[in-house]
Amino acid sequence: MAPNMQPIQSVAIIGAGNMGSGIAQKTAQEDFDVQMVDREAQWVDRGQKIISDFLAEAVERRIFSPGQIEAIKGRITGVVGTENTAPNTDLVIEAVFEDFNIKTQVFNILNEVCGQDTILASNTSSLSVDELSIASGRPDKFIGLHFFFHPAKNRLVEVIPGKSSSTQTIDRTVQYCRGLGKVVIVCKDRPGFVVNRFFVPWLNEACLLLQEGVASAAAIDSVAMKSFRIGLGPFALMNLTGPPIALHATDYLAEQLDTPRYYGAENLREMVEAGNMWEIGVNSDCSEEVASIIRTRLMGQIFAVSGQIVDEEICSIEDVDRGAKVGLRWARGPFELANRIGISEAKAMAEDYCELANFTLPKCWERDTNFEFNYIDSFVKDGIATITINRPEAMNALNETVVAQLGRALDEVNSDNSVHTIVLDGAGKAFVAGADVKFFVDKLRADSFSDIYNFTANGHSVLEKLENSTKTTIALTTGLALGGGLELALACDYRIGTRKTQFRFPETSIGIFPGLGGTQRPARISGIPAARWAVLAGNFMDAQTAADLGLVSDLVDVTAVDTTIAKLAEAGKPENKYPGVPSNPNSKVALFAKEFYSDENLENILSANCPDGFDPEDRNVSRQLKSLSRTAPVALKMASNLIDQSGLTELSTGLDKELEGLEGIFSTEDALEGLSALIEGRKPTYSGQ
């Protein structure tokens, strides 16, 4: 966002039904001030009860404490009557029935009562945002949002600007959605937007397969689940959400896109008229020939329609896949799936469906090579280059592709004379949640250590582009930064954090040591005792702790992020990036680290024994001993030795020693055990070998 743009803080939700209450709940959970508005007190009360029940379940599952629940509910104010929405509200989200006239009435009232800076948004899954924006009376401050059910759980949101939506309206709304921890797809105002455009016809195609007698509902569901690697097939999904929703959505698309193929299948229409659900049954047997017909039809439909979405420039191939993986929880998106089964086969499936639906084959399918995905977004404004790692469906985890693309983006901005500052950011709720652990496991099992070494060496090369940049470099660590992600941030001159900042080096507990500067830069920033505290035991750091140690250089309120970027850009590079002492040496964590992780205690620490003079029953001490006992012994010792080197060598020498130690650590049995346990969701058992 531009430095003079105030982030959204107060939000009103019009409509306290299941969707409206869900949006209100999620918004309050993320510390926004919320008004939940409905026509009558009974509906507001019902919305409050829905939220209370949902949060009570979250307490039972230990997601929130009772105190957190009270704080969340305390941020939600019930309001009776749209006309009583507070005039100074930053953003109002209408979440009433999918009826154009009802929505228009709501916006007419809001346009009168809300201040001129209030953004009006419609949570819609189908209606034209452009038409609604005109009806709103303030098209420049109007935008479409499509939250997916349940809004407190599903991480996807589609943001749909109208033709007249101002850049400021779009930017502030996207910032709000990211503040909710959402994966954001900004897309054009076309019927079905992104996900429903390909998903709704997929449901109807399953109905047509059943109607034609190709196979039973159970068989179609079974083939779909295997083909798309999903937990529920189309008929089970329709039963879950209700067949009427599927019928309404597919008829709407048929009409809006003038596509007869999408008109609700007769069996679906009859089902809805009778008020029934699909009878799926348990017999999912079918021949391979029949399974091939089902697979070809369902995949061909997805490939063809996804191609139309890209051809119409509704969004990118990356966002189509993101919508499938995050919004629908598919294992792979359409284009990733096409690469997986082979472009020629996927293209043939798309052609078959295009013939059935009387479509022209989308231009994006006029290819013989795999689709290539871009995970780095970069733009320059007023001398500040913002580079965003945009892989939120994987918490922006670093893999070979991301590292290579990030390196190219940094080369480009480093050579741009108009750029004086580089801001590194991560899309979604995380900055970067480390490296892709599955990559390490796959390579170890394939006995391909050289690939691990090359990946890590390339990572060092990319971090060097930040370390040695003549530009001022800023990491926007306003979310989760783990392992390699934290190492990436520490290569920058500054790290901006907010209350949502969370840091951790988990490596020693998964059988390895931090290999992208994690044994070197923390000690040079915060001193060796603090580095031992952070790296050896893998202690979790909240925002204040990270700031006390100096790993966060600027801890600010979320509303001050943009002004802080501007301030740092003006100040330029820091005089001393590596002071070697905590920012707040008198903080509890700094004092404890200095005493507990001293040189004289190191031998005991590496053996997971309590150092002399410390009470093992003390809460802080017992926590450290417990964490240390869960680490891989070889990884712990190697990390400790490398941290010690940071006080004796130049940074470049220390980083070289990290690389030199890679083969030693990855050749241990404990490395494979720790990494495998992480992706398998179990506790590792270390042998010390």
Residues involved in catalysis: 125, 146, 158, 196
Q: Cα(245)–Cα(611) distance, rounded to whole angstroms?
A: 64
| H helix or E strand, kind and range, residue 381 | strand 376-381
Tokens standing for residue 177: 């959605």
**Which residue type is seen at 306?**
S
Three-state SS string over 319-377 comes to HHHHHHHHHCCCCCCHHHHHHHHCHHHHHHHHHHHHHHHCCCCCHHHCCCCCCCCCCEE
Largest interatomic CA distance in the chain: 80
Peptide bond into 150 cis (omega under 30): yes
Tokens standing for residue 126: 């189908």
Tokens standing for residue 106: 């709501």
Q: Cα(582)–Cα(532) distance, rounded to whole angstroms?
A: 13
Question: How distant, in Å, are the alpha carbons of 100, 349, 585, 668, 670 from that of 630?
Answer: 58, 50, 28, 16, 12
> Is residue 531 within 8 Å of 622, Cβ to Cβ?
no
**Of 287, 299, 289, nearest in space to 224 by CA:** 299
- The count of C-alpha atoms lying within 13 angstroms of the C-alpha of 269, restricted to the half-sphere facing its C-beta, is 9
| Measured torsion, CA atoms of residues 372, 374, 379, 384, in degrees rounded to the nearest 10 | -130
> Is residue 531 within 8 Å of 500, Cβ to Cβ?
no
Tokens standing for residue 616: 């093992």
Question: How distant, in Å, are the alpha carbons of 32, 75, 92, 116, 140 from that of 88?
Answer: 14, 16, 10, 9, 18
